[in-house]
Amino acid sequence: MFALVDGNNFYVSCERVFQPRLQGRAVVVLSNNDGCAIARSNEAKDMGIAMGAPWHQIRPLERSHGLIALSANFALYGDMSERMMALASALGYRQDVYSIDECFIHLHGVSGDLHERAQQLRQHIRRSIGIPCGIGLGSTPTRAKLANHLAKLAERHPHKYPAELAQVCDLERIDQPLLHRLLQGLPISAVWGVGRKLAPQLQSVGVHTVLDLLQSDAATMGHHWSSVLERTVRELQGTPCLDWDALPQPKQQIAYTRSFGRTVTAQGHLQEAVSEYTARAAEKLRHQHSAAGAIGVYIRTSAHQPNADERYSRGLVMTLPQASQDSAVLIGAALRALERIYQPGYRYAKAGVHLLDLQDAARLQLALPWAGTSPERPGLMQTLDSLNQRFGQTTVQWGSAGLGGRARPWSMRQERRTPAYTTRWAELPTLHAPRTPDQ
Ligand SMILES: [Mg+2]
């Protein structure tokens, strides 16, 4: 079993903790430079304000409907996230932080009533830090994510959904006829990893609802679309087959987190890891033509560390003066964050980087054409990306990521990996001519 713990309307909820007057009001949080709505309270959603709605368009609602708009405070959200994740990690043995407000908890081997435990955790988070959460439980991460979606719907629309599904929803406990009825009412875009582009294509072959997708043949889906969709369907049907290294990305964020091959203690090693993770995340960012307005970094010791004195976990979000897609700018900010959260003496097992406040790079470029950086930078980044795409991920890399290749202690352990015989020059098979006895 898996749990997905998700902070409700997270940025708005963080603001409400410190400003109770915002409770029950329509609130939106705006992106960097107050461009568009990146978080909405339920009241704001009910007003019809869309995710990403430009501020100048919704501004009249301030007067007419008492809408409250706040500028994003990523330093606050990052810190609240850190606190929420620390509490959530108590639910199971392994936690995968997926975004600033969501994490998966692996529940294998956790005894007792999972629904009850999830309820208690939800109350504990609410009491300790004031953030309301939804928790979804399911036999696969995709089902847990769907359960969380139902938990949120049931909380927002009590007349349409059974009350016992609100806040904490266990998909495996819902009886089959009811589950089918619920899933029949959900569009396929409610399924994790089914993007907006894919939905119309699937509709054209008669797959309209989550139930249709659940009842489709996974192999056929894989044959006609992609292995990613095939895995999604299998996950939806209850077979865990998710590749944790290739999770579908949240729309508003890009995350790159990895466990180290070996634990590290030196700040220099963490700097290397954080540099490389940031560079990888920046590559994804440019690939989707976005720029990031903030970057979050976290480091932690192993969750299995039995001794509480030897456990440490900290994260910090840095807001950039201006959104950027330049790896050097992002790495610089990430290393400044690391500088502030690093504590000597711990054995670190994992680090992660989150790119936040994503914005359309093209629009940004029109508004502020690479202010602060030289005009050659976008071209340089493009060259870098195409070299690495063509010749392998680490063909050209940042000096701060270290030059030790696989020997870097934090690099993922792949001791048993066979050579990339056909795609890497350095790993081409070598032929040795047999020696003759008189040579
Ligand atoms: Mg959320």
DSSP for 409-420, please give it. Answer: TTSPP-TTPPP-
- Which domain range does residue 339 map to? 254-407
Report CA(299)–ligand 1 centroid distance (Å): 22
Backbone torsions φ then ψ of 295, nearest 5 degrees: -135, 135
Report CA(39)–ligand 1 centroid distance (Å): 9
pLDDT, residue 422, reads 65
Report CA(428)–ligand 1 centroid distance (Å): 47
Q: Which positions ≥6 away from 49 have C-beta within 8 Å?
A: 26, 28, 37, 40, 58, 61, 67
Report CA(425)–ligand 1 centroid distance (Å): 44
Cα within 13 Å of Cα(357), Cβ side: 31
Report CA(424)–ligand 1 centroid distance (Å): 41
CA distance linking residue 347 with residue 410, whole number of Å: 11
Q: Is residue 332 part of a domain?
A: yes
Report CA(423)–ligand 1 centroid distance (Å): 40
Report CA(134)–ligand 1 centroid distance (Å): 8
Number of domains forming the structure of the chain: 1
Q: Is residue 3 part of a domain?
A: no
Report CA(349)–ligand 1 centroid distance (Å): 26
Per-residue pLDDT of the chain (439 residues; tens, 9 = 90+): 999 999 999 999 999 999 889 999 999 998 876 778 999 999 999 999 998 898 999 999 999 999 999 988 888 888 899 899 999 998 998 888 888 899 999 998 888 999 999 999 999 999 999 999 999 999 999 999 999 999 999 999 999 999 999 999 999 999 999 999 999 999 998 999 887 778 888 888 889 999 999 999 999 888 888 888 899 999 999 998 887 766 666 667 888 888 888 889 999 999 999 999 999 999 989 988 889 999 999 999 987 778 888 889 898 999 898 889 999 999 999 999 999 999 999 999 999 999 998 888 877 665 555 555 677 788 889 899 999 888 877 788 888 888 877 778 788 665 555 666 666 677 777 888 777 766 5
Report CA(220)–ligand 1 centroid distance (Å): 33
pLDDT, residue 365, reads 62
Report CA(201)–ligand 1 centroid distance (Å): 27
* Element spanning 359, H or E: strand 348-360
CB 16 within 8 A of CB 27: yes
pLDDT, residue 352, reads 92
Q: Is residue 381 part of a domain?
A: yes
Residues facing 258 on adjacent strands: 351
Q: Is residue 371 part of a domain?
A: yes
Q: Against a cut of 0.85, is the pTM above it?
A: no
Report CA(376)–ligand 1 centroid distance (Å): 38
pLDDT, residue 245, reads 64
Report CA(10)–ligand 1 centroid distance (Å): 5
User: How wide is the angle at C-alpha 228 spanned by C-alphas 385 and 273, nearest 5°?
Assistant: 40
SS3 95: strand
Q: Is residue 300 part of a domain?
A: yes
183: its two tokens: 């899933």
Per-residue DSSP letter, 166: S
Could you tell me how far CA 283 lies from the centroid of its own chain? 15
Report CA(152)–ligand 1 centroid distance (Å): 10
Q: Is residue 260 part of a domain?
A: yes
Report CA(102)–ligand 1 centroid distance (Å): 6
Residues facing 356 on adjacent strands: 294
CATH number at residue 343: 3.30.1490.100
Q: Is residue 284 part of a domain?
A: yes
CB 330 within 8 A of CB 401: no
pLDDT, residue 348, reads 95
Report CA(15)–ligand 1 centroid distance (Å): 14
388: its two tokens: 């690495």
Q: Is residue 261 part of a domain?
A: yes
Report CA(8)–ligand 1 centroid distance (Å): 5
Q: Which of 275, 281, 291 is nearest to 336 (CA)?
A: 275
CA distance linking residue 396 with residue 393, whole number of Å: 8
CB 303 within 8 A of CB 94: yes
CA distance linking residue 28 with residue 307, whole number of Å: 42
Report CA(6)–ligand 1 centroid distance (Å): 5
Report CA(28)–ligand 1 centroid distance (Å): 14
Report CA(92)–ligand 1 centroid distance (Å): 20
CA distance linking residue 291 with residue 356, whole number of Å: 9
CB 359 within 8 A of CB 72: no
Report CA(384)–ligand 1 centroid distance (Å): 34
